[in-house]
Amino acid sequence: MSAELPLPTAVEGRLDRWANLLLTREAATPMALFRAAIGVCVIVSLGGVLAHHDVAALWLDPRHGGYAPHSAPWLFGLLGGATPQNVWSALGVTLAAGGLLVLGLGGRFPALVALLGHMALVGLDPDAGGSYDTLISNALWLLVLADSTATLSLDCWLRNRRFTSAATIPAWPRWLALYQLVLMYASTGLQKVSDTWVPFGPLSAVYYVMQQPTWQRFDLSWLADVYPLTRLATLLVWCFEVSSPLLLLAIWLERSSTGRLGAALRRLPYRRIWAGFGLTFHMGIALTLVLGPFPYVAMAFYLALIPGARRR
């Protein structure tokens, strides 16, 4: 039998670093907050359809008074079709699962139920949804993977008779949530290739977006008086989105680098500056434009920026 060949030192070092990342445990508070926020987003997203009496119109086919396509997602196929009874039942169960996520009751199971229900309902008429539906689904899948009820939950109360706990959980699901946040911005920024967005163009994108009547919460024609500020906002938003992968690099170097760059990043509150700009951006969207639950879902992912105290 031949002896095993040793791995090159550089490869072994990289594998050790990845192993350390996957094995690292941290405080459970960030993922608990993320769980509750996503639960609220599920309720707001689906509850908005219910509150506006749009369930039949959006999710039922013409035979039952709606305009959704006749083809139904696989879950409704198992249930016997997207009948009114099945659609309303799925909505009720998914909203209840969202409530359990907020309360932190039932471990990972409510996240799985909410994921399946949300994807099935949204899949009835994909044209009626938005990018926030994909974000919600991805967040729910991360909550299936994470132990998000270790603290700030009814599960914690049932175990310890306390709502908080010093228990630790694996850190990698939070890293995946952070990666999702960065991926959202990077992919969006790279798609903004018109001359209204990119530097050295007119930088008129933000102004024109905020003049769309279908999106405005109120009249924003006064922005013409501060047009240079909207141009600056366009440039800053584009630069923020395109450069977002640097956040992951900065956090990695902040954690692992022992050189001058790592020391500088530990002194500079880069994470807080980045989060401050992003949250201001989304709050501005939420206050001025009607884009469904997108701003709130995006801001929920910012909870992944909260560093957990690392423990092994």
Average the pLDDT over 219-233 and give the result: 97
Name beta bridge partners: 293. 291
- Using the predicted structure, report yes or no on whether residue 265 has a pLDDT greater than 50: yes
Q: Which two tokens stand for residue 311?
A: 């423990």
pLDDT at 2: 46
Torsion sign over Cα 198, 131, 69, 77: positive
Q: What percent of the chain has pLDDT over 70?
A: 91
Give the pLDDT band (50/70/90) at residue 12.
low
% of the chain with per-residue pLDDT over 90:
77
Q: Write the pLDDT tens digit of every residue in 62-87.
A: 888 888 777 789 999 999 999 999 99
Segment 284-301 mean pLDDT: 96
pLDDT band at 43 (very low <50, low <70, confident <90, very high): very high
CA 202 from chain center: how many Å? 31
User: Tens digit of pLDDT for each residue in 154-201?
Assistant: 999 999 999 999 999 999 999 999 999 999 999 999 999 999 999 999
234-253 core/surface letters (b: 16 or more CB in 10 A; e: else): bbebbebbbebeebbebbeb
